[in-house]
Amino acid sequence: MTFAARTLALWLTPAAWLALPALVLESGPDGLWVGLLLLVAPLLALAAAGERAPTSSSRNELFPVVAFLLVVALILWANLVLAGDVAAWLGWPRWRGIAVAGGAAWLLLAWRGAVRLVPPLLLIAGCGLAVPLAALVYEADIGPLAAWGRVASLPAFRLPASSPWVDPGHELRAGRGPTSLLFEEEHRVTAAGHAQLHIRAIDGARVTENDWDLRPGETVTLRSGDELRWPAGARLRFEVGKLVPGAPPSGIAWADGRRGDSTRRWGLLLTLLGGAIALVDVGARPTRQQMAAAAAALILVFTWGVIWAVYCALGAPDLFLGGVAIERLARPPSLGWPTGAGRFVPLLLPVAALASFLASSVVLRERIGGLDVTGGGEIGHDLGLWSAIIGATALASLWPAEPWMLIVVALGLAASTLAPATLWPLPAERTRWTTVAGLVGFGIFAALAVAGQWTRGVEGWAALPLTFPAVVAAPAAALVLGLARRARRG
């Protein structure tokens, strides 16, 4: 397995690289910032590994193994949630997608020689990304830069006739955004199945709220300024050519982006960088050729994500409906595909996600094996342990969650518990302080994460440690290591 393949598999799981076009669609230029962080963080981690001497962890350390197992469980959970979301989006039972992804991962994790399959799996994933994009560019007959300019000049995003929410109707699930739809023009909403809708109407200073119990085929008309809320699983049908509820007001507004919150940018930067340092710990100095290969692959993935988002905004503006959900990017149904290939090309992206997930699972197993306290890497091949992890995460994935946020939590946990000791390792005789530092980082991270759920209204710099607890937890763990090193010198 090559160095670049190991780095890509460790860092770019499907819940991470598929979140890139979703974030670009949601936030425009601000999403590009997140993509740049995904590109730069592992490169900076590799550069930091090249500047320091190779480290050899003590074989009597148990805490790094346990912490890394928690991080891996969160990453597996995020990707199994995504597998269930994609299956539901394709019209399959949610459990089927989780069973396919989880079962395939379990089979590979049970096979000791699965590491040899990582480069072929990444090659399959790369082809699954490149072929649909090439077909989309060919069908659109417009280059990526011209497509960006066309999207940026759109007067409005309107529902296309090919949208599944126009005919025959589709389940509406809120993405990364509010759980309600605000209509900017009069719009008739038809129930494709039984649906109970809540409508909040504003008429000057008067606010009225009504509940509508619609049977299949019944319609309710909403006026400009009305707000619609719907229960989970409601299947609705909207009018073709109308403004997409939840979409940016225009292409110009989308290209201008939202007013950036610098605190969130710094918090995300420190979280991703710390997580990359903990995950992409090579244990040896990478060569320039290895760094160049890893950087080239990361740049290609970043370019793919941006271009995919642009063509989706141009050809499938209905993806904005109810907020941008990651699973919709795996197979945008409104896009035009070449004749004869429409049945197969759109399915390549879910195949690419599955191949990428399997490669990531195998490399994470090998990474844990390198931390094994027994010195033989047996924990990476403990079938009972991996069966428990896969089973628990698959069961948790039956309930919807946000895959990208789970990835951010996993990287924040890794930054708080593992990154400080990776950057500033202590001598073998003082490894107990490494455990103390990790426990301090874990405790602060957990406390701030829980507090953040109860203080969602806080904004500005005060919200930074509540939104990204690693910005406080990681320095606290590093301070413990610094004090231990200073005490040894004294």
Top-confidence residue, 331 or 104: 104
Q: Which of 149-158, 261-270, 359-368 comes out lowest in average pLDDT?
A: 261-270
- C-alpha–C-alpha distance, residues 416 and 446, integer Å: 10
Instruction: At 54, list the tokens.
Output: 């190779």
For the chain, how many residues are written? 490
* Confidence band, pLDDT 50/70/90 cuts, at residue 290: confident
Q: Which of 40-54, 178-192, 230-244, 429-443 comes out lowest in average pLDDT?
A: 40-54
pLDDT tens by residue, 82-124: 999 999 888 889 999 999 999 999 999 989 889 999 999 999 9
| pLDDT above 60 for 341 | no
What per-residue confidence (pLDDT) applies to 342? 58
Backbone region of residue 174 per phi and psi (left: phi > 0; alpha: psi in -120 to 50; beta: other values): beta
pLDDT tens by residue, 358-378: 999 999 998 888 776 665 567
| Element at 123 (helix H, strand E) | helix 118-140
pLDDT tens by residue, 30-44: 888 888 999 999 988
- C-alpha–C-alpha distance, residues 195 and 218, integer Å: 10
Is residue 345 a contact partner of residue 337, using CB atoms and an 8 Å limit? yes
Is residue 23 a contact partner of residue 314, using CB atoms and an 8 Å limit? no
Q: Tell me the H-state helices in 167-323.
A: 251-256, 262-279, 288-315
Q: Which of 138-152, 268-282, 458-472 comes out lowest in average pLDDT?
A: 458-472
Q: Closest Cα partner for 379 from 64, 148, 48?
A: 64
| CA separation, residue 259 to residues 256, 272, 359 (Å) | 9, 22, 37
For residues 4-13, give the mean pLDDT: 90
What per-residue confidence (pLDDT) applies to 452? 84
Instruction: At 302, list the tokens.
Output: 């970043």
| pLDDT above 60 for 490 | no
Helices (H) and strands (E) in the chain, counts: 18, 8
What per-residue confidence (pLDDT) applies to 57? 47
For residues 206-218, give the mean pLDDT: 90
Predicted structure pTM score: 0.92
What per-residue confidence (pLDDT) applies to 45? 86
For residues 461-483, give the mean pLDDT: 90
